[in-house]
A and B are shown apart, each in its own frame.
Chain A
């Protein structure tokens, strides 16, 4: 195979799971395991390329949950089982699970931000002894927009899980309604250096959720965020994802919040 990093490699789709009207999870054959939090440049020749984070990692496969909102992502949704997707990567720095050992971890994810944290939750679901405590706080726009519903139900058995929707639309039988920021107070915090908080979601959600945790005394250094930006190369050359002196594709997408909040687009 060619050594040129810009040439993608073919990977077979071995599973498609429809999550919502807009999102589907594609299980893709993959012989190497990426780090949780990393992303791949996914492409369909003739259509284009897009950065997609990893929403599941297993033996010989990875999951990618893709929202049907753009040119390439729409084309991906027309693909069937056994079709080929073209990938290059993995890129970016990912989460360092070593740092969370014995810690109290809180994961707050908004909307499709739940995708990159799904492998982490799944990992601790199977390796609960590696962590002191895991609290989950998930927010979606509407009940229809909830992804990984079955997974969340299963995770609930082992971890304190708050699932909220911004707008109940009259069909929501869950307990929580309202923005994710309103439920930060319901999480019992641990001592400063015994806890870490991961926040992933749209930029506004990250900003205000982090502010709530900081208000409650969590220090910026203990908050970890993952950022999303337009990318063309994933290799630190095209410049689209640059913020300040940082390139999200190289230095991120995972950042400590004390660095991230200084990054002004």
Chain B
């Protein structure tokens, strides 16, 4: 079922929604971009629809809505531990189809990998609802169609924005109560992007040929990649994190254990006490990441990890093309196999 809003009426809808939900959406932070005079677009709380950046891709993914950059696991004082007070807030996140498909990956890792679901993730995730932003045209570096993540039905509402009106589909009846009776009903089903400028040939091999791991194709990244980890932090599917203890300056017996996003590209990711570490050069880190995204994860969970949002390519300060890398890898595999 669909409804047609004027821009003003849609802002009024937000007023109702914000009473029950914290709305997270792509928002512009002026002059906070990577280069001078550029803006940063990232997820943050919005109070009205005019605050949402509809027509540009966000620099960061909506992952932080379900998986905070830093999270306190518990507070400790000497031998006692206390978990943070459970939150009750409900979240409504505006995001594109690739990101909805993308968040299924952190869901899988945190809820299905291992003996039990991660309780912190589960607790937050069950309070998050999705509003899909219709996405019919590709941005730079997008290759969602190649990754089969351009289409989804996993949302509570979907929205199309035109210059003078907003169309809304509601799939979750819980949201019907926010719709004023004077809002006209219409037939509306969102459309999806069906072609990207960038096409990626994802290798669909059952066993990665051994020669790939040591192939010279990774040498390029040894010097080009500077191990900054931007590709990981902007990726909607990266979930690695590191646990750290901190204690308070004025009382070293009290503190907290926190987990923070980690990056497989950044130095120290594999370091063990005593000096042993793995993947010391940045080329093998690139190989590790790329194979995880398009091979290892599929072997374990049955679908590719990468959803083709292209944020890694948008944000790499060294202009490394991850999509280009997959295409090269595909060629290398074909040559190796034949």
Which B residues touch A238, using CB under 8 A?
A: 240-243, 259, 262
Say yes or no for A34: interface residue by CB 8 A criterion.
no
Is the contact region of chain A dominated by helix, strand, or loop, or is it mixed? loop
The answer to whether B116 touches A235 (Cβ under 8 A) is yes
Which B residues touch A244, using CB under 8 A?
A: 291, 296, 299
| Complex Cα gap A73–B210 (Å) | 37
Which B residues touch A49, using CB under 8 A?
A: 243, 245, 257
Within 8 A of A (CB), among B249-277: 252-253, 255, 257, 259, 262, 264, 269-276
The answer to whether B243 touches A233 (Cβ under 8 A) is yes
Is the contact region of chain B dominated by helix, strand, or loop, or is it mixed? mixed
Which A residues touch B252, using CB under 8 A?
A: 46
Question: Which one, A64-72, A125-133, A206-214, is touching chain B?
Answer: A64-72
| Complex Cα gap A9–B304 (Å) | 37
The answer to whether B273 touches A71 (Cβ under 8 A) is yes
The answer to whether A237 touches B272 (Cβ under 8 A) is no
Chain B minimum-CB-distance residue to A235:
B114
The answer to whether B79 touches A247 (Cβ under 8 A) is no
The answer to whether A7 touches B83 (Cβ under 8 A) is yes
Which A residues touch B290, using CB under 8 A?
A: none
Which B residues touch A70, using CB under 8 A?
A: 272-274
Per-residue CB contact flags for chain A residues 228-245 toward chain B (1 = under 8 Å, else 0) read 111011011111101011
| Complex Cα gap A262–B83 (Å) | 40
Say yes or no for A45: interface residue by CB 8 A criterion.
yes
Say yes or no for B279: interface residue by CB 8 A criterion.
yes
Which B residues touch A71, using CB under 8 A?
A: 273
The answer to whether A242 touches B292 (Cβ under 8 A) is yes
| Complex Cα gap A224–B113 (Å) | 24
The answer to whether B76 touches A45 (Cβ under 8 A) is yes
Which A residues touch B239, using CB under 8 A?
A: 237, 239
The answer to whether A232 touches B83 (Cβ under 8 A) is no
Say yes or no for A178: interface residue by CB 8 A criterion.
no
| Complex Cα gap A111–B64 (Å) | 43
Say yes or no for A35: interface residue by CB 8 A criterion.
no
The answer to whether A69 touches B245 (Cβ under 8 A) is no
The answer to whether B270 touches A265 (Cβ under 8 A) is yes
Which B residues touch A72, using CB under 8 A?
A: 273
| Complex Cα gap A245–B303 (Å) | 12
Chain B minimum-CB-distance residue to A202:
B276
| Complex Cα gap A233–B120 (Å) | 13
Which B residues touch A203, using CB under 8 A?
A: 276
| Complex Cα gap A116–B55 (Å) | 57
Kindly state the interface size class of chain B when it binds its partner: 35 or more
| Complex Cα gap A71–B244 (Å) | 12
How many chain-A residues does the 8 Å CB contact rule pick out? 44
Which A residues touch B257, using CB under 8 A?
A: 6, 45, 49
Which B residues touch A8, using CB under 8 A?
A: 81
Say yes or no for A264: interface residue by CB 8 A criterion.
yes
Say yes or no for B124: interface residue by CB 8 A criterion.
no
What's the minimum C-beta distance from B286 to chain A, rounded to whole angstroms? 13
Known: A265-B278, A265-B288. A232 touches B273 (CB 8 A): no
Which A residues touch B242, using CB under 8 A?
A: 232, 238, 240
Known: A6-B74, A45-B245. A230 touches B269 (CB 8 A): yes
Which A residues touch B278, using CB under 8 A?
A: 229, 265
Say yes or no for A250: interface residue by CB 8 A criterion.
yes
| A245 CB contact (under 8 Å) in B73, B240, B255, B296 | B296
The answer to whether A47 touches B83 (Cβ under 8 A) is no
| Complex Cα gap A200–B75 (Å) | 37
Say yes or no for A84: interface residue by CB 8 A criterion.
yes
Within 8 A of B (CB), among A36-69: 43, 45-50, 67, 69
Chain A minimum-CB-distance residue to B297:
A245
| Complex Cα gap A185–B183 (Å) | 85
What's the minimum C-beta distance from B86 to chain A, rounded to whole angstroms? 11
The answer to whether B297 touches A230 (Cβ under 8 A) is no
The answer to whether A230 touches B274 (Cβ under 8 A) is no
The answer to whether B269 touches A4 (Cβ under 8 A) is no
Say yes or no for B151: interface residue by CB 8 A criterion.
no
Given contacts A46-B245, A245-B297, 5 further A-B contacts (CB under 8 A): A6-B119, A7-B73, A229-B272, A232-B262, A239-B264
Kindly list the 3 A-B residue pairs having the minimum CB-CB distance in the complex, ordered from nearest: A70-B273, A236-B114, A239-B240
18 A-B contacts, Cβ less than 8 Å apart?
A2-B81, A4-B83, A5-B116, A49-B243, A229-B278, A230-B270, A237-B239, A237-B241, A239-B241, A239-B264, A240-B262, A240-B270, A242-B292, A242-B296, A244-B291, A247-B114, A249-B114, A265-B279
